[in-house]
């Protein structure tokens, strides 16, 4: 019974595809999968926007949206209908293109932003047997298509002919390039231990239980460090507070999409949130067991429910961080990436190697934890000593 519920989407897909002729089956199957992603994740995005405003309101001791429910009825849903008027508003607003803007590049930037983000969902395992393309080098695919987002950010910032847009784009690119390195290096540890770049294999490797507790990678020393590094880097990659310098409202209006309005602005907004969900999904898959359950007596809950609830839990932590932490300064951001996260990620790779080759008993826990604590203490002290509270010195190309 629970197995059937778990596989209900897979069964439905097979059932639907069995009605089309043999020749069209791969195309129709791909179409249904695309429709699934396009229906579910923008839906999650719509709910997240309301949730974000409500949680931020709670943190800042105010209400947040609580009026709009289902339109034309008296049902209010605690304000969770807010995304419908928001969507209608952004769809019907005037689309302003600055006169000096580079029209073609200005038009193409939101499209180039959205395509790689949507494509990266193709390799994420949403549930048991629920990966759209079970590709051999899925992790490489994910990082490769993620690289195209930087190009779109640059296109948006440069084509607007606005100094705030260009500043935001340069900040965003510098930040994304810097934080991509710890992101990839922290994912490398998982690849080393599992021995595969296939994301389904990585989830399968974590789907074992000892004393009723799952073998998630986050429950090992290297996995914990890897997860924390990945989490911080994914905050920076999705331009969230405390790394929201690219779109800091109080400094540069809205960063690279200052000159966008109406539907194009909505596309940027959507692309940013979908990118955030994708990278959180990857983090869940790599470190938090993907669609598996943390304890063995809850394995009857369907796998996609686990995936979505983990996703929403991490989204909640992201919103919580946004409501709590102040924004970093540019030099602090760069120092943190290059002088703390990068060395720690490299040491973590060494620790994962030691973990892989030592015998599976308490000694390897001791050795690995000792190395990580030592590295953390030394690097953290170095970071604190290098604090430069004096006047900043800028360095230009000329």
Partner 1 sequence: MSPFFVITGIVTLLGAAFAMSLRNLVHCALAMAVAFSGIAALYLQLDAQFVGFAEILVYVGAIAILIVFAILLTRSGEAPEKSVLTSGWMAGIAVSAMVFTMLGWAVLNSSAIPKETSPAPVATVRNVGDALMTRFVLPLEIIGLVLTAAMIGAVIIALKEDSQKSKSEDGGQQ
- What are the residues binding partner 1 (CB under 8 A)? 105, 135-137, 140-141, 143-148, 150-151, 154-155, 158, 166, 170, 173, 177, 180, 196-197, 331, 334-335, 338, 386, 388, 393, 395, 397
Consecutive H or E run containing 214? strand 213-214
Distance between CA atoms of 81 and 138, rounded to whole angstroms?
36
Please state the closest distance from residue 344 (CB atom) to partner 1, in A.
18
Residues forming beta bridges with residue 295, ordered by sequence position: 213
By C-beta, is 34 or 151 nearer to partner 1? 151
Structure tokens given for 205: 């490797």
State the DSSP code for 341: I
- Per DSSP, helices labelled H in the chain are 2-6, 8-17, 25-59, 83-92, 103-119, 138-146, 148-159, 163-194, 199-206, 221-237, 249-252, 262-287, 303-324, 330-335, 342-357, 362-385
By C-beta, is 249 or 331 nearer to partner 1? 331
Please state the closest distance from residue 169 (CB atom) to partner 1, in A.
9
- Tokens 């990945």 sit on residue: 230
Please state the closest distance from residue 9 (CB atom) to partner 1, in A.
27
By C-beta, is 51 or 194 nearer to partner 1? 194
By C-beta, is 97 or 224 nearer to partner 1? 97
Closest listed residue to residue 224, CA positions, set 319, 334, 344, 339: 344
By C-beta, is 203 or 319 nearer to partner 1? 203
Closest listed residue to residue 348, CA positions, set 198, 213, 228: 228
Distance between CA atoms of 224 and 216, rounded to whole angstroms?
10
Please state the closest distance from residue 60 (CB atom) to partner 1, in A.
34
Please state the closest distance from residue 89 (CB atom) to partner 1, in A.
32
Distance between CA atoms of 269 and 110, rounded to whole angstroms?
9
Please state the closest distance from residue 271 (CB atom) to partner 1, in A.
17
By C-beta, is 298 or 330 nearer to partner 1? 330
By C-beta, is 3 or 136 nearer to partner 1? 136
Please state the closest distance from residue 2 (CB atom) to partner 1, in A.
34
- Tokens 């049902």 sit on residue: 75
């Amino acid at each position: 019974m629970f197995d059937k519920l778990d596989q209900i989407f897979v069964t439905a897909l097979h059932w639907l595809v069995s009605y089309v002729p043999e020749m069209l089956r791969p195309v129709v199957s791909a179409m249904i999968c695309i429709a699934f992603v396009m229906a579910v994740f923008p839906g999650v995005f719509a709910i997240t926007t309301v949730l974000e405003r409500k949680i931020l309101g709670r943190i800042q001791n105010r209400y947040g949206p609580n009026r709009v429910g289902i339109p034309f009825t008296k049902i209010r849903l605690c304000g969770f209908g807010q995304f419908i008027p928001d969507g209608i508003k952004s769809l019907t607003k005037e689309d302003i293109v600055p006169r000096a803007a580079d029209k073609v590049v200005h038009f193409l930037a939101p499209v180039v932003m959205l395509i790689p983000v949507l494509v990266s969902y193709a390799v994420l395992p949403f549930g048991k047997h629920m990966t759209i393309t079970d590709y051999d080098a899925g992790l490489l695919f994910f990082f490769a298509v993620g690289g195209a987002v930087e190009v779109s950010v640059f296109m948006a910032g440069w084509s607007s002919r606005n100094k705030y847009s260009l500043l935001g784009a340069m900040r965003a690119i510098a930040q994304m390039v810097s934080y991509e390195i710890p992101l990839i290096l922290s994912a490398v540890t998982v690849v080393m231990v599992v021995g595969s770049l296939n994301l389904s294999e990585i989830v399968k490797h974590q789907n074992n239980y000892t004393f009723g507790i799952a073998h998630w990678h986050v429950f090992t020393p290297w996995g914990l460090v890897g997860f924390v590094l990945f989490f911080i880097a994914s905050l920076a990659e999705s331009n969230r507070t405390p790394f929201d310098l690219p779109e800091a409202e109080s400094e540069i209006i809205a960063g690279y999409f200052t000159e966008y309005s109406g539907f194009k602005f909505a596309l940027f907004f959507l692309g940013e949130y979908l990118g955030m969900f994708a990278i959180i999904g990857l983090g869940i898959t790599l470190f938090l067991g993907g669609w598996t359950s943390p304890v063995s007596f809850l394995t009857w809950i369907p796998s996609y429910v686990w995936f979505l609830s983990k996703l929403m839990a991490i989204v909640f932590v992201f919103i919580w961080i946004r409501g709590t932490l102040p924004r970093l300064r540019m030099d602090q951001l760069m120092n943190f990436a290059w002088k703390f996260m990068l060395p720690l990620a490299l040491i973590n790779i060494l620790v994962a190697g030691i973990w892989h080759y030592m015998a599976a008993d308490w000694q390897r826990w001791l050795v690995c934890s000792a190395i990580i604590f030592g590295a953390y203490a030394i690097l953290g002290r170095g970071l604190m000593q290098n604090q430069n509270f004096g006047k900043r010195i800028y360095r230009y190309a000329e």
